[in-house]
Amino acid sequence: MTSPQSMWPTWLPLREDLKNLSPYGAPQISGVLHLNTNENPFPLPQPVVEAISTRINQRIADLNRYPDRDAVLLREKLANYINLLSQTSFSKENVWAANGSNEVLQTLLLACGGPTSLALGFTPSYSVHPLIAQITATPWIAGFREPTFSLDIDAAVEKILTANPRLVFITTPNNPTGNVLPLADIFRIAEAAASISALLVVDEAYQEFSQEDSAVTLIGQFPNLVVTRTMSKAFAFAGARVGYLVASPEVIDAMFITRLPYHLSSLTQAAAEAALDNQELLQAEVQFLVSERQRMSSVMTKAGFSVVDSQANFLLFAGFPDSSSDTWKYFLDRGILIRDVGLAGFLRVTIGTVAENESFLTELLKLRP
């Protein structure tokens, strides 16, 4: 579905600035291998399925009532999870949860964005950031990454200070490139953002696949630092739609203003609570996916493709003879759905099961440069 400006009827008072937008989303095609949306390929283990079913069953009779509007238990469990990973001491006052980290970002931009604000990100990065900015009528400016996709930190700080945004976005590990920004560089960006009273939003959707310390460890020093996370990737929980942010209590207070009342259903809260109670089981495959990422990267590099150094559950690669769109189609014709992220000469593949990865590699190696 596309929506060029001329298609909208005159009786629909759609905002002028939205008329040229198309709905966001990767193709959803059945009967093919799904290596395009960075999901965890492993279904939930049976004991976790049972734990989630039990927890949901306990809540079903109460569906006549609205859910806990503040999702207190879930936020406590998320705070404990982060504390365990990062040796921090956050409480529910530092955590906000919503239907996926995309909703978290939208609620944040509703609070801190808008026409009189300005948001800055460094391209290429997660394309939903500028999209949510646009939807919330927040002007967006793009800084740029190096041709290798790393961030020149001095240039980034300079860009922040000259552009003077209210919000700065960093994704690490970055999507679609997979590379990380060292914590020392995030420190410098947080410092620059603080000096102009801007909020730094660090999107850590893929943090569990990375060796780098989380930016949550800097929140104590920088009250202007917000870290967004998701259960969609490492927790294999994309279908449940649970994302969250970790931040200073004042940020959480602001989220209470712009969230919709009862935004997180009782069933979602129950499922996420049970998932967090079973976090080791749910994340049992994370290390395996990391080792598969390393194995695939090495096979692809040895075959002559260039592969961006990734600490996420996907790889961005180049070196195939035809265009990205033709090569994307080549894979699709062979039953493998990967992602054309709009970077000329590059494609992105999600790490799947061994069988899925082997199918991908078999077809890729036929394109050996």
Point out which residues bind ligand PLP (CB under 6 A). Answer: 38, 100-102, 126, 171, 175, 203, 205, 230, 232, 238, 243
Give whole-number Cα distances, 44 to 82, 85, 207, in Å: 21, 21, 20
Whether residue 159 contacts residue 207, with contact meaning beta carbons closer than 8 Å, is answered with no
Residues 305-335 as b or e (16 or more Cβ within 10 Å = b)? bebbebbbbbbbbbbbeeebeebbebbbeee
Measured from the CB atom, the residue of 156 and 272 that comes closer to ligand PLP is: 272
What residue is closest to ligand PLP based on CB?
A: 100
Minimum CB–partner distance for residue 244 and ligand PLP (Å): 9
CB-nearer residue toward ligand PLP: 100 or 124: 100
Q: Residue 142's Cα: distance from chain center in Å?
A: 18
b (16+ CB within 10 A) / e for 152-174: ebeebbebbeebebbbbbbbbbb
Taking the complex as a whole, how short is the minimal distance between the CB of residue 82 and ligand PLP, in angstroms? 15
CB of 65 to ligand PLP, least distance (A): 26
Question: Please, what is the minimum distance in Å from the beta carbon of residue 304 to ligand PLP?
Answer: 28
**Which residue number, 67 or 124, has a Cβ lying nearer to ligand PLP?**
124
Q: Where are the alpha helices (DSSP H) in the chain?
A: 46-60, 72-86, 101-112, 128-135, 153-163, 183-195, 249-258, 266-277, 279-282, 286-302, 324-333, 354-365
Nearest approach, Cβ of residue 21 and ligand PLP (Å): 18
Give min distance, CB of 100 to ligand PLP, in A.
3
Smaller CB distance to ligand PLP: residue 217 or 350? 350
Using CA of residue 206, residue 307, residue 123, residue 37, what is the dihedral sign?
negative
User: What dihedral do alpha carbons 244, 247, 249, 254 form, nearest 10°?
Assistant: -70
**Complex with ligand PLP: residue 267 or 299, whichever CB lies closer:** 267
Nearer to ligand PLP among residue 111 and residue 312 (C-beta): 312
